Chains A and B, each alone.
Chain A
Amino acid sequence: MKEPNDIILHAVIKVAVVIILTFSINLFFSGHHNPGGGFIGGLGFSAALTLLFLAFDIETVRQNIPVDFKVLTAIGVLIAVFTGVGGIVFGAPFLTQTFDYFDIPVFGKTELATAVLFDVGVALAVIGTSMSIILSIGDDH
């Protein structure tokens, strides 16, 4: 890959990535009630990372984000499966999700749903998959 050395691009992307990451995390958590969720949240996250990889060279980003995305995929899939197994432990069928309302300081009455945990797995799997595909193709000289 050619080495990009564009100051404007760097400056813009540093800000943009933070905004996109925040937005995708917001997307992820609002998923249960508003548009969003694990899939789209994860995709947004990996879009931000892709931007980073586009603007800076792969080695620099790798040093700052030392994550093996293949492992991340596996962790995501495992989380999704284990939240499903959680149902079995409590005597319900595999992949049963539940929810309840709790009073939490600062947030007030909040709904906590196990579906969000499952969604974490989905999001991690999506991030891991898209990033490891992009990196293995982009890394290929």
Chain B
Amino acid sequence: MSWLHIMVLIPFLFAIIVPLIYRVFTPRIHTGWFVLCVPSVIFLYLLRYIPVISNGETIFISVPWIPSYGINYTTYIDGLSLVFGLVITGIGALVVLYSIYYMSKLKESLHNFYVYLLLFMGAMLGLVFSDNILVLYVFWELTSISSFLLIAYWYQREKSRYGAQKSMNITIFGGLAMLAGFIMLSMMTETYSIREIIHQTDSIYDHSLFLPAMILLLLGAFTKSAQFPFSIWLPDAMEAPTPISAYLHSATMVKAGIYLVARMTPIFGGSAEWFWLVTSAGLVTLLYGSLNAVKQTDLKALLAYSTISQLGLIMSLLGMGSASLYYGTGDEASMYAVAVLAAIFHLINHSTFKGSLFMVVGIIDHETGTRDIRRLGGLMHLMPISFTLAIIGGFSMAGLPPFNGFLSKEMFFTAVLNASDMSIFSMESLGVIFPVIAWAASVFTFIYCMILIFKTFTGKYKPKKLEKAAHEAPVGMLVPPVILSSLVIIIFFFPNVLSQYILKPAMGAVLPAYSQPGEIEIKISAWHGWNTELFMTMGVVAAGALLYLYLKKWIGIYSIYPYSMTFNNFYNQGLGKMEDMSFSLTKSYMTGFIRDYFVYIFTFLIIIVGGSILFLDGAAFDVSNNGPVSIYEGVLIISMLTAALTVLFSKSRLTAIVAVGALGYLVSLFFVIFRAPDLALTQLVVETVTTALFLLCFYHLPEIRREAVRVKFKMTNLVISLGVGAIVAILALSANGTRLFEPIAYYYENSYELAGARNIVNAILVDFRGIDTMLEIFVLGIASLGVYTLVKLRISGRDRSERTK
């Protein structure tokens, strides 16, 4: 356990005390001020690691968690995870600061908001710093769940619930696929550690599971990072409060997929399939997102599609950069390696400019009451600071100097041009498509950035269409976007500080060949001569400006494409069909008669257990080791049989209850004979308590009625009960005669030395197999909650129906 592990746990621990803080200090102090400490402190703590990591070192600390399954809580810091950690906590701190002004402390349930936010932050940190793939998976799904909670924060709105459900359906589907991929990876390499898997890369290259594992992992990454066609959840996720949109859906969670692809590049990169899947998914998403962003009328929806497109850009850069692994080292390798550098560079840039743009949109929403472009306009004079911020963010996203987006977009153009010259992976004929797609997508990016800036802030001010009179936001709300915007400019003028200390170690983590400093000389410069990239940018500006000015003339072509052909429609239709189907299916077998349910359960028991005994040759009677049957045992068995038959044929319920109780007590006598006082005691008490329970409800039960049942029904029951009896008997006998696993009986030899317990049963329960016991009491607790809700909800349901009468 080190500070690093505690750092990941801090947000979770803090999430526990947030409700307390909320209760004590509301409405005097906004809860956000307390929460602000968490990301700020972690951010400052992580800054310490920059010099260490930029020296080419990595930090690896492992704490055993469930060592018997090979699951360890391992924290691993290299350049890549450090970049993500800094983005998560840095943007996180700014978002919390912003939310203090955005979320009213009187009207909103802030404790929920910040608990979800901290859960999310902790999950993200755990995800990027984890080396164990199963632990990574747990944190991965936790980000899905916490984002579900955050999107549905205003759960009274139907659209919030719809968006939350959609994002969860899609990302959890991807997460499960990824889990399967991880399991395949661990089957190939027999380890759960990413670092160890990377060491074995050569041996898994020809494995038959290589391709399936890759595709499943990419499904996880693509759903999380909203790549086409899984991108449909991201626009609907915009129902969340704006700080959340700024944080989850532009800066961090959606980049978890990018992180995964980057992390897995050393394992899968260098193969043609990886190159094509990642690059083409990225390029298609880039084009699709930018095309769709142009037609949006809601500012947040526009930003959502722009995020989709920018994520596609980063993804395609990672894909193109993975070609570097094919060459290993050398000039050609380093030519493609720059694409990975560009990917991480753009990831940081995107977090800065998109974060600030989201905050600006939040300010507009907050101060005017609407985000609809058609109702906005002319805000320039009323909100000059927001206007400036929008220009900085928007021009950076459009790829114009002097903003950081220009630098990374130029590097992107370089990468596509390099890729089009590539002579591997059958790129010769298709290579020319890459620059064309990149250029076209950039033109549309330019257009939607202009729409965002100029449709909102210039033109005619329409106060009648706004809910509130527009005015500039309070200072505190402007501070976070101002910080991000100044970063946008600072990075443009001093990109090499960033590249030296942060980007290069991160690139080294993705491409192990460059993991030592000095292996590759990187210089990002704003002016790189009159080359193709610059001409492409000029073309983008010219074509984009022209298309923007004549937007009204051609925007109509978007309405040609029918809604019924979109993936959104497929999703909605599919979900509806699935719900109908499962409803009718459930209705057909949930008859409400407990005997029907018993028939299902026991039929399946007979088929599955009986079938496997039959086909797997499971029946094995080995009576040679058995002891002789004593007279006491014989008497007990006969008494038990009598009791059982009494239950079967008794006409009154009371007799049946007493007979069942007798059966239980007789079993405990067996334990006494076999000298297991623990078990006998437990059985006795359980029997007493359950009989008492029976007697408690006895008052409410009607007398057993003689039912006129058909012979066919009786015969079915007879067959099933005989079958179950036979199978349980065979199972018990075979279990005694077979040894599949090592018996846990050897614990008795050293229970005193290891656990200090003279009671072996107790030592086994709490010391040796504690996790069994722990899960057992989980089950107990859940069962009691189940009984409670079933009984209590039924009462309230009846009350409701009585009231309606």
Contacts and interface: CB of A to CB of B under 8 A. Distances in A.
Given A38-B766, A115-B766, A125 B787 contact: no
B66 A77 contact: no
Nearest to B695: A54
A137 B600 CA distance: 26
A95 interface: yes
Interface string B733-776: 00000000000000000000001111101110111001101100
A97 B777 contact: no
A54 B780 CA distance: 23
Contacts of B692: 47, 50-51, 54, 134
Indicate the member of A32, A46, A119 with the most B CB atoms within 10 Å. A32
A86 B778 CA distance: 19
Interface in A108-123: 111, 113, 115, 118-119, 121-122
B777 A122 contact: yes
A63 interface: no
Nearest to A92: B64
A40 interface: yes
Contacts of A39: 682, 765
Contacts of A119: 762, 766
Interface string B686-717: 10110011001101100000000000000000
Contacts of B781: 73-74, 76-77, 125, 128-129
A132 B65 contact: no
A137 B692 CA distance: 12
Contacts of B773: 80, 118, 122
Contacts of B65: 88, 93-94
Contacts, number: 166
Contact of B755 (A40, A51, A90, A113): A113
Contacts of A97: 755, 766-767, 770
Contacts of B778: 77
Main secondary structure of the interface of B (DSSP, over half): helix
Interface in B669-695: 677-678, 681-682, 685-686, 688-689, 692-693
Nearest to A1: B699
A10 interface: no
The size bracket of the interface on A is 35 or more
B693 A133 contact: yes
Contacts of B803: none
Contacts of A80: 773-774, 777
A84 B770 contact: yes
B442 to A, nearest CB: 50
Interface in B40-77: 63-67, 73
A41 B791 CA distance: 27
Nearest to B756: A99
B766 A46 contact: no
Contacts of B783: 129, 133
Contact of A95 (B696, B770, B787): B770
A45 B73 CA distance: 38
A74 B700 CA distance: 30
Given A40-B681, A115-B757, A118-B766, A91 B63 contact: yes
Interface string B59-98: 0000111110000010000000000000000000000000
B697 A137 contact: yes
B451 to A, nearest CB: 52
A89 interface: yes
B655 to A, nearest CB: 20
Nearest to A49: B689
Contacts of A73: 780-781, 784-785
Given A40-B678, A70-B785, A46 B780 contact: no
B682 A122 contact: no
Of B1, B73, B678, B758, most buried by chain A (CB within 10 Å of CB) is B678
Interface in A67-88: 69-70, 73-74, 76-77, 80-81, 84, 88
A4 B581 CA distance: 51
Interface in A1-43: 1-2, 27, 31-40, 43
B689 A46 contact: yes
Nearest to B681: A40
Interface of A: 1-2, 27, 31-40, 43-44, 46-47, 50-51, 54, 69-70, 73-74, 76-77, 80-81, 84, 88-95, 97, 99, 111, 113, 115, 118-119, 121-122, 125-126, 128-130, 132-134, 136-140
23 contacts: A31-B762, A32-B759, A32-B763, A34-B758, A34-B759, A35-B761, A36-B681, A36-B759, A37-B765, A43-B682, A50-B692, A54-B696, A70-B785, A80-B774, A88-B73, A93-B66, A94-B771, A97-B766, A111-B756, A132-B787, A133-B784, A137-B697, A139-B791
In order of increasing CB-CB distance, the 4 nearest A-B pairs are A99-B756, A125-B777, A33-B758, A129-B784
